[in-house]
Amino acid sequence: MKFYSLNKLSPSVDFKEATIRGQAPDKGLYFPEIIPQVDQNFVNGIEKIPDEEIAFTIIHPYVGSAIPGDVLYNIVKETINFPIPLVKVNENIYSLELFHGPTLAFKDIGAKFMSRCLGFFSKERKEKQVVLVATSGDTGGAVANGFYNVDGVEVVILYPSGKVSAVQEKQLTTHGRNIHAIEVNGSFDDCQQLVKQAFADKELNHDLFLTSANSINVARWLPQQFYYFFAWKQWESKENPPVMSVPSGNFGNICAGLLAHASGLPVQHFIAACNANDTVPEFLETGNYKPKRAVATLSNAMDVGEPGNFIRVMEIFHQRIGDLKKVMNSTSISDVETIQAIKKVNVEQEYLLDPHGAVGFLALQQYLQKHPGQKGIFLETAHPVKFADTVKSIINREIDLPLAIQEILNKTNLSVNMNVNYSDLRDFLKQFK
Ligand SMILES: *Cc1c(COP(=O)(O)O)cnc(C)c1O
Query: For 142-192, what is each residue's pLDDT tens digit?
Result: 999 999 999 889 999 999 998 888 888 999 999 999 999 999 999 887 898
Q: What is the pLDDT of residues 191-210, one digit of tens each?
A: 988 998 998 899 998 888 88
Nearest CA, atom 1, ligand 1: 301
Give the confidence band of 77 by pLDDT, cuts at 50, 70, 90.
very high
Give the confidence band of 83 by pLDDT, cuts at 50, 70, 90.
very high
Long-range CB contacts for residues 372-375, cutoff 8 Å, separation at least 24: 373/240, 374/92, 374/240, 374/243, 374/268, 374/269, 375/92, 375/93, 375/94, 375/237, 375/240, 375/242, 375/243
What pLDDT does residue 403 have? Answer: 82
> What pairs with residue 159 in β-bridges?
183
What pLDDT does residue 400 have? Answer: 84
The number of the ligand 1 atom at minimal distance from the alpha carbon of 247 is 10
Nearest to 78 by CA among 145, 16, 22, 14: 145
Contact 15, 7 (CB under 8 A): no
Q: How far is the CA of 303 from the centre of ligand 1 (A)?
A: 9
Instruction: Indicate if the pLDDT at residue 138 is higher than 90.
Output: no
Give the confidence band of 47 by pLDDT, cuts at 50, 70, 90.
very high
What residue ranges do the domains of the chain occupy?
Answer: 82-106+221-395
pTM: predicted TM-score of the whole model, two decimal places: 0.94
> What pairs with residue 129 in β-bridges?
153
Phi, psi dihedral angles at 312 (to 5 degrees): -75, -40
What pLDDT does residue 21 have? Answer: 87
Catalytic residue, from 2, 16, 48, 107: name it. Answer: 107
The 3-state secondary structure of the chain, one letter per residue: CCEEECCCCCCCECHHHHHHHCCCCCCCCEEECCCCCCCHHHHHCHHHCCHHHHHHHHHHHHHHHHCCHHHHHHHHHHHCCCCCCEEECCCCEEEEECCCCCCCECHHHHHHHHHHHHHHHHHHHCCCEEEEEECCCHHHHHHHHHHCCCCCEEEEEEEECCCCCHHHHHHHHCCCCCEEEEEECCCHHHHHHHHHHHHHCHHHHHHCCEEECCCCCHHHHHHHHHHHHHHHHHCCCCCCCCEEEEECCCCHHHHHHHHHHHCCCCCCEEEEEECCCCHHHHHHHHCCCCCCCCCCCCCHHHCCCCCCCHHHHHHHCCCCHHHHHHHEEEEECCHHHHHHHHHHHHHHCCCCCCHHHHHHHHHHHHHHHHCCCCCEEEEECECHHHHHHHHHHHHCCCCCCCHHHHHHHCCCCCCEEECCCHHHHHHHHHCCC
What whole-number distance in Å separates Cα of residue 98 and Cα of residue 422?
36
Give the confidence band of 367 by pLDDT, cuts at 50, 70, 90.
very high
Q: How far is the CA of 250 from the centre of ligand 1 (A)?
A: 7
What pLDDT does residue 49 have? Answer: 98
Give the confidence band of 11 by pLDDT, cuts at 50, 70, 90.
very high
Q: How far is the CA of 381 from the centre of ligand 1 (A)?
A: 7
Contact 217, 224 (CB under 8 A): no
What whole-number distance in Å separates Cα of residue 199 and Cα of residue 127?
18
Q: Residues of the chain with pLDDT > 90: what percent?
A: 80
The number of the ligand 1 atom at minimal distance from the alpha carbon of 99 is 13
163 is catalytic: no
Q: How far is the CA of 357 from the centre of ligand 1 (A)?
A: 10
Nearest CA, atom 2, ligand 1: 301
Residues with CB under 6 A from ligand 1: 105, 107, 138, 215, 247-253, 301-302, 356, 381-382
The number of the ligand 1 atom at minimal distance from the alpha carbon of 251 is 9
Contact 139, 192 (CB under 8 A): no
By most ligand atoms within 8 Å of CB, the mutation choice from 214, 253, 332 for ligand 1 is 253
Lowest mean pLDDT among 88-102, 249-263, 296-310: 296-310
What whole-number distance in Å separates Cα of residue 411 and Cα of residue 21?
34
Tell me the average pLDDT of the chain. 94
The number of the ligand 1 atom at minimal distance from the alpha carbon of 357 is 11
Domain 82-106+221-395, architecture per CATH:
3-Layer(aba) Sandwich (3.40)
